Amino acid sequence: MKNNDKKPTSIVVFGGTGDLAKRKLFPAFFNLFLEGWMPDDFELLSLGRTEHTQEEFRAYILENIKAFSRIKNFSEDKWNAFKEKIKFIRFDITQEESFIQLKNQLDYIDTNLGSRANRLFYLSVAPSFIEKVSNSLKKNGLAENVDQDRMIIEKPFGYDKESAVALNTMLAQTFKEEQIYRIDHYLGKENVQNILAFRFGNTIFEPLWNNKYIDSVQITVAETVGVEDRGGYYDGSGALRDMIQNHLMQILCMVAMEAPTEFESTEIRNRKVDVLKSVRRINPEDINHYTVRAQYTQGEVEGQHKRGYLQEPGVNPNSNTETYVAMKFYVDNERWNGVPFYMRTGKSMSEKASSVIISFKEAPCTTFKSTVNTLKPNKLTIDIQPEMDIKLSFMTKKPGLEMQLKPAEMVFDYFECSPDTPEAYETLLLDALDGDSTLFMRSDQVEEAWDVISNIQTAWEKGNVSKMYTYPAGSSGPEAADELLKRQGHYWFTNSQETLKSEENA
């Protein structure tokens, strides 16, 4: 829906002076504006605690747009038009007076418009403020119109299942579920959305998408960054909560879900919840069989010395928080019975890479008995970031007089087709403006995802139940993570181009 069809909207960013707002939200709004996706009439009210003049704040936004925006070439006229939409408001969430001022401001916008504008509230603040903001919005009647008023909530959504249920219950007192947009920015990434297009927009893959043909699935989200200056926050969270419960679990849903009957929010989210309900819960006594956790020690990442996790500022030197997790899940339904889903995520790893790899079963080796050792199972790789592509590996005849086989690859490269794809936050903000919640998490989805990891959380919190392994910063993780797969004759796949080259040269 391009701008002309959109209703006038007042966008309110709580935490408008924070890190997320400067790096992601304002650049995303600006890019949507440049490309004609914002409503013709909108106001961007940015709330923060410190005093700024409008000119100072707009200059600060411009500086960050120049640093972080996808689109860096834009005319001064465009910026001048955009900056008129930005209004900084000094605001203290803890003070009721601030909400009264906000109400006056929103009413003023409506009066000038001559109609009630839609309202989009973005809570880019610490989770501890969600309840206060929600209650004060209710008390002041700021978000009463179910069809027009929406609230975007950032991760983390809860700390465990219990706290997520409590948060959902609290929010339900003020908002209808359709007004709440729980964001997981991974769902806005192009190649994550592409999983559905690839699976359900083609005839040739879906018939193979089951335990008859698929041997195992690997989902990896590896980061080269450590905890940087967020040690205090991270130490209370860890890789299981920060990554597995949300990003990796959502990718799992996209890979494993049944076909939705239509591309529609309720239907798609129902199918995702079905997957989460089918994920086998790991019994506390089996935790070590299914999971590996680890912390990085000092090492070198991309040529730079990195200190160990326990030496990071803000981190408890005796911390029991994991920076790396590898685990195995099963989805106990007809389609996936017996297929292991391996997941891993870590900080301070050797390379930044997020991918899904579907490994198919070995071809029956009746025809090529003599080349059985060189036969490689087909592999489908979906690279999410920084590469964005889909690769299918298959066997071909090696050119020459003999009948020998070698692996080859078909590649669909997103950057080649469209070098300038939108950022995840652009996609998600646009959907929220349009009232499309397909790519946001419903309450039951969040609760079910917490439920999947609940036993692991409990066991790990006991501390002595499973070992905390270590891995040097800049490595590919602890050896124990390799052992997890080796037991079933599997191994972690590395970058498929490198693997392919070494296989070709073998």
d(CA 29, CA 36) in angstroms, rounded, equals 11
Based on CB atoms, which residue is closest to ligand NAD, 23 or 85?
23
d(CA 162, CA 172) in angstroms, rounded, equals 15
The verdict on whether residue 289 carries a ligand-binding annotation is: no
Task: Count each helix (H run) and each strand (E run) in the chain, helices first.
Answer: 18, 17
DSSP state of 23: I
* Residue at 240: amino acid letter: L
Q: Considering the rule CB under 6 A, would residue 17 count as an interface residue with ligand NAD? A: yes
Based on CB atoms, which residue is closest to ligand NAD, 47 or 109?
47
Count Cβ atoms below 10 Å from residue 434 Cβ, excluding itself. Answer: 14
Query: Taking CB under 6 A as the rule, which mask of x and - marks residues 33-52 in contact with ligand NAD?
Result: ---------------xx---
- Among candidate residues 247, 289, 305, 490, the one labeled active-site is 247
Give phi and psi for 489, each to the nearest 5: 75, 20
Please say whether the beta carbons of 268 and 438 come within 8 A.
Answer: yes
The verdict on whether residue 397 carries a ligand-binding annotation is: no
Binding residue count for ligand NAD, defined by CB under 6 A: 19
| 432: helix, strand or coil | helix
Q: Which of 59, 126, 146, 225 binds ligand NAD (CB under 6 A)?
A: 126
The verdict on whether residue 18 carries a ligand-binding annotation is: yes
Q: How far is the CB of 407 from ligand NAD (least distance, A)?
A: 38
247 is an active site residue:
yes
Q: Considering the rule CB under 6 A, would residue 93 count as an interface residue with ligand NAD? A: yes
d(CA 215, CA 219) in angstroms, rounded, equals 14
Q: How far is the CB of 160 from ligand NAD (least distance, A)?
A: 16
Cβ-based neighbours of 58, under 8 Å, separated by 6 or more: 83, 86, 88
Give phi and psi for 124, each to the nearest 5: -95, 55
Please say whether the beta carbons of 492 and 319 come within 8 A.
Answer: no
Q: Considering the rule CB under 6 A, would residue 127 count as an interface residue with ligand NAD? A: yes
Task: Kindly give the interhelix angle for 190-200 and 249-256, rounded to the nearest 10 degrees.
Answer: 20
Q: Which of 7, 20, 205, 210 binds ligand NAD (CB under 6 A)?
A: 20
The verdict on whether residue 126 carries a ligand-binding annotation is: no
Query: Taking CB under 6 A as the rule, which mask of x and - marks residues 156-175 in contact with ligand NAD?
Result: x-------------------
Q: Which of 55, 92, 177, 332 binds ligand NAD (CB under 6 A)?
A: 92
Please give the annotated binding residues, written as ranges: 15-22, 49, 92-93, 155, 185, 189, 223, 242, 347, 352
Using CB under 6 A as the criterion, which residues of the chain lie in contact with ligand NAD when the complex forms? 15, 17-21, 48-49, 91-94, 124-127, 154-156
* Catalytic site positions: 247
